[in-house]
Every structure is written in C-alpha cells, then in structure tokens.
Structure 1
C-alpha cells in the first residue's frame, strides 16, 4: 500500500446536496422546502422548541427536582466504618484508598452512627458533635 493509492471506503464520501439547480436535479424550484410558510422563506426560522405560539413543551411541564453540584464532593463516614479500618491515623487519602469515599470527594465528615471502641486519630476530616465525643471517649483525637 502506498500513500498515493489510499482511498476512502466505498460509500464513505458523497456529494453535497446542491439545491436550486434546475428541474432536472430533482431539487429545483422550491429546493426541497415545499410551498409557502415560514420554513420556506430565506431567514425565516424559529428557535428550537418553538411550537407556533402554542405554549412550548418545556414550559408546559412542571419544574421538578434539583441536583446539587456540590453533592459528590462532600462525603460522609460512620463511626462503625471507622472502627472497621485497620489504620490508626485516618485522613482523606486513607478513606479514598480503602474505597469508603468517592475519588471525587473533597471533604469528609464523620457522623455518629454505630460504635467505635478503638483509638483513632482523624486528620483533616470533620466530625459531628456526637461523633467527636464518641471518638474522644474511645481515646482518639479529631484535628
């Protein structure tokens, strides 16, 4: 195979439709636009979703739901999940490594759900008041 012999696959290339080029072309006179009406005229078009003055679909339907952009970046960890970890010093990277929080998580907060009976040291991780009290009661620290 030579560079000068390369050709596109059969049917991959096709001629551009040239409208308004006489009756024999099949696209003469009205050039495939039909007769009369806004869509047949030069410059006569409307925005996407326009329904001729009828209330558009996106305005007829009720507004529902909301997805916060901050949601995937704030994660929660329970006390029982912390208790199951083997390491004593816990930070965001540790939690991501063991798969407790998403890789996208930017902040983590410990919530009081479950029990913790071993000493853990939290670095750069928030905790609710109840969770902080439980960790400190077990001999751990929250920094």
Structure 2
C-alpha cells in the first residue's frame, strides 16, 4: 500500500451544500429555511435555553451545590519516570528547570512529584510536594528531595516599575 492508494471511507466526505443555486439543486429559492418567520431571517436564531417567554427549565429547577473554582489549587504534576527520561543523573531539578523543559505549564505555581515510573539516576530535587512512593524511589536511587516553601501567590509587578 502506498500513499496514493489511500481513499476516504464511503460517507466520510460530503459535498458542500450550495444554497440558493437554482430550484433543481434542492436548496434554491428559500435555501432550506422555509417561508418567512423568525428562523428564515438573517440573525433570526434564539439563544439556547429560551422557551418563548415561558419560564425556562434552567430557572424552574433549584440551584444545587457550590463552585470553588476561583480558589481551586492547580498543581503541576511530574513523575519520577519523567525525570529519568528528560534529565542527566546528578543534576538539580527545580520548578524553573522543569518549566524550561516543558514538563509543567507556565501558570502552575505548585509542583508535586509522583512515583509513576522507575528511577535509576541520582537527582537533587526541589518541589513543593511529593508522594511517599516518589520519595522512596528518589532516596533508593541515592538522590534527595527538599520541599520548598514559597508563597502560592505573588503580587504582580506594576507595568513601568
């Protein structure tokens, strides 16, 4: 099989619907919108959940629970297997180095080391949190973990300062 032998499955590709191109196309004249009325007009759609002035279902049902998303703590997770894969033995591994290698995203302030994977190299690791399995694996390989206490939020530096 070569690249030129590949064909899409039947029904996977559809021809573009050319609206208003003659009556015999099946989509001529009113272009599949019917005659007059709100939905025949340009911009004539109603918002989701609107029920024509009747009290909508979403407002008839009571509110339940709460949402703490504003104060939710998002933690960057790194596994010991990732350290084995991306770093040389005997190196210092901390938040800025992990961010530079792309193992944690830029906006994450808290880094937690988890124990997935195996570890044979020796590392000196600075993270905010660690699991017991990860600590055991690092210490078994001859490395050490130090937990750093940093503020979870820093005051932004004003522009032009």
- Please indicate the TM-score interval, normalised by the length of the shorter structure: 0.5 to 0.7
Root-mean-square deviation (Å): 3.4
Aligned residue pair count: 95
1:141 alignment partner in structure 2: 144
**Runs of at least 4 residues off by over 6 Å:** 49-53, 61-64
Shift in alpha-carbon separation, 1:70–1:94, aligned structure 2, 3 A? farther
1:132 alignment partner in structure 2: 135
Shift in alpha-carbon separation, 1:72–1:123, aligned structure 2, 3 A? same
TM-score for both structures, normalised by structure 1: 0.54
> Which one has the largest radius of gyration?
1
CA contact (8 A) 1:72 1:102 kept: no
Q: Give 1:85 shift.
A: 2.5
Structure 1: segments with no counterpart, 5+ residues = 1-48
1:17 alignment partner in structure 2: none
2:80 alignment partner in structure 1: 79
User: What do residues 5-24 of structure 1 show as CA deviations (whole Å, max 9, x unaligned)?
Assistant: xxxxxxxxxxxxxxxxxxxx
Are 2:108 and 1:108 equivalent residues in the alignment? no
TM-score for both structures, normalised by structure 2: 0.48
Cα distance in 2 for partners of 1:96, 1:139 equals 24
- Secondary structure of residue in 2 paired with 1:123: strand
